[in-house]
Structure formats: structure tokens, C-alpha cells
Amino acid sequence: MGWITKQNILIVGLGLMGGGYARGLKRIGYHIMAIDTNAESIRYALENEIIDEGSAETNPQLIRKADVVVFAVYPHLIKPWIEQNQQYFKYGIRITDVTGVKSCIVYDVQSILREDVEFIAAHPMAGREVYGVQNSDDGIFHNANYIVTPTEKNTENAIQWCKDLGRLLGFRRVSVLTPEEHDDMIGFVSQLTHVIAVALMDCSDNTHLVDYTGDSFRDLTRIANINEKMWSELFLMNKQPLLEQMDNFINEMNTLKEMLEKDDKQGLCEKMILSTKRRALFNKK
């Protein structure tokens, strides 16, 4: 099964991410269908020609037409949705997702899936601090990473297909990691950073300082503006890797604190030289 634009793509969950997938893939020429419990999202997407067909209810007719299903819903909803609706799947379709955690989803879904259907997981590492299909924009993919996380159950064809999907959506970089590698990485670059931003915003009542803050504080707390339902779920689903990253970070903070207490200027300087050297690698990108 190659990329044939006559294929019907069903997007389950038409929010910021689902809307981005819909816009990008419809432009290429695919027939885009969507199911979302929010009738207003479906109405808006139809009116603005973001999708071709849509339903605010789980609609067996739409599901039966799908050659591809993309899950862009809250992570915990994927497995029950498949359990209830895979009876309607066309033979041999492919399923992918946009979930930000992988180990806790992929194996579970694959274990309950029909034998003829393949679930190949992916994480498009893009987002915005706004929600809903109304704010969706596939332009956010263009400077972002897309990661495919296959397991032993996946075929080479499906892995290749899923990588192609990332390229079609315009991602800057498409790569492959195991679910475990992905979750360790995301625990560090995404989840730990969000925990830090929340902790910095919450650690004291700093609202009287609003007039004194500069770019540093604003940059570090931008992501403290956070969707609590989504992120608390993602944190708990990636509990062990995130706890390890938090331990590493808290230990480092305590080391810096001890250096300050002991007037260890040389130690502090060495830490800053290391951070400057490491950060330089990230500047190049």
C-alpha cells in the first residue's frame, strides 16, 4: 500500500493536532474524514473545508470507508475506542497516532488489535499553546521533529509508510526510535522542561514582580501555560522516565546550591563553562 491520494483518511479527535493533519493531508489531495465529540469542531471544519466528511458521533459508515485511521485524541481514549469500533475497520488498514508518550500505549493497542490491521505509532513533536481545530495549522510541522516508534510487531512496509506520512506533512526531520528510547528522550526534552516551568511559576507568589521580569523569566515560564488534563495524563503515563529526569535535575540544583553555600566560585564557574559549551551545540540548529 503506497500513498495513493484516493485513500480515505479518518482522523479521530479533531483538535489542534488532528486539524493540522487534516489541513496538510487534504491539501495533498486525500479524502479527509473526522470524528470528534465536539459538534462545533466538526461544523467549523466542514464549513472551512478542512475536512470532507465528519461526524460528532462514532459513525460506523465513516469508519468503514477509512483506509487509514489517525488517532489525535487523549491517550487513554485510544484503546477503548479501538476495542469498541475495530469491528467496522476495512480489512488490512493502517492506524497511527500523535501521542506524546509511547511505551504505555503502543504495546497495549497492538495486543488488542485485529490481526489484519497494523498500528504503527508516531509522535509529531509540534504544538502550540492554543487549542482546537480553529487554531490548527500544518505550518507548525515545518520546523519540527517527527518520530516513528515501531515495535517487533511492525512490518518494514508500515514503518516506511509512517515515515512517508511525516515527510508528506512537511516535518523537518523524520526519525525512528524504540518506544523506550522515545520515552526517555521526551521525559527530558519535553516533560522535565514543563515540570520546571510549572515549578518556577508556582514556587512563590511572584505576581507582584510582573513589572520587573525580562526575557529570561518569560522564556522559562512560557510553557507554564499548560493544558492540565493533557499534561497530567502524559506525565503519569511516562512516570518512571520522568521521575529519573526530575531526580537528575534536582540533584544538580542541590549541587549548585551547595557550591553557593560554600562560596565555591571555581565550582560554579566550571558548571557555567559546561552549560555554555553544551548549549553552543544547540545554537547551531
Nearer to a copy of itself, 86 or 221 (CB): 221
Q: How far is the CB of 34 from a copy of itself (least distance, A)?
A: 26
Nearer to a copy of itself, 112 or 199 (CB): 199
Q: Are 98 and 71 in contact (CB under 8 A)?
A: yes
Q: Are 121 and 149 in contact (CB under 8 A)?
A: yes
Q: How far is the CB of 100 from a copy of itself (least distance, A)?
A: 11
- The length of the chain, given as a count of residues: 285
Q: How far is the CB of 162 from a copy of itself (least distance, A)?
A: 17
Nearer to a copy of itself, 43 or 222 (CB): 222
Nearer to a copy of itself, 98 or 113 (CB): 98
Nearer to a copy of itself, 58 or 135 (CB): 135
Q: How far is the CB of 204 from a copy of itself (least distance, A)?
A: 5
Q: How far is the CB of 135 from a copy of itself (least distance, A)?
A: 16
Q: How far is the CB of 24 from a copy of itself (least distance, A)?
A: 18
Q: Are 70 and 232 in contact (CB under 8 A)?
A: no
Q: Are 117 and 159 in contact (CB under 8 A)?
A: no
Q: How distant is the alpha carbon of residue 99 from its chain centre?
A: 5
Name 165's Cβ contacts closer than 8 Å, sequence gap at least 6. 3, 96, 122
Nearer to a copy of itself, 74 or 88 (CB): 74
Distance separating alpha carbons of residues 193 and 228, to the nearest angstrom: 15
Name 110's Cβ contacts closer than 8 Å, sequence gap at least 6. 119, 151, 153
Distance separating alpha carbons of residues 180 and 248, to the nearest angstrom: 18
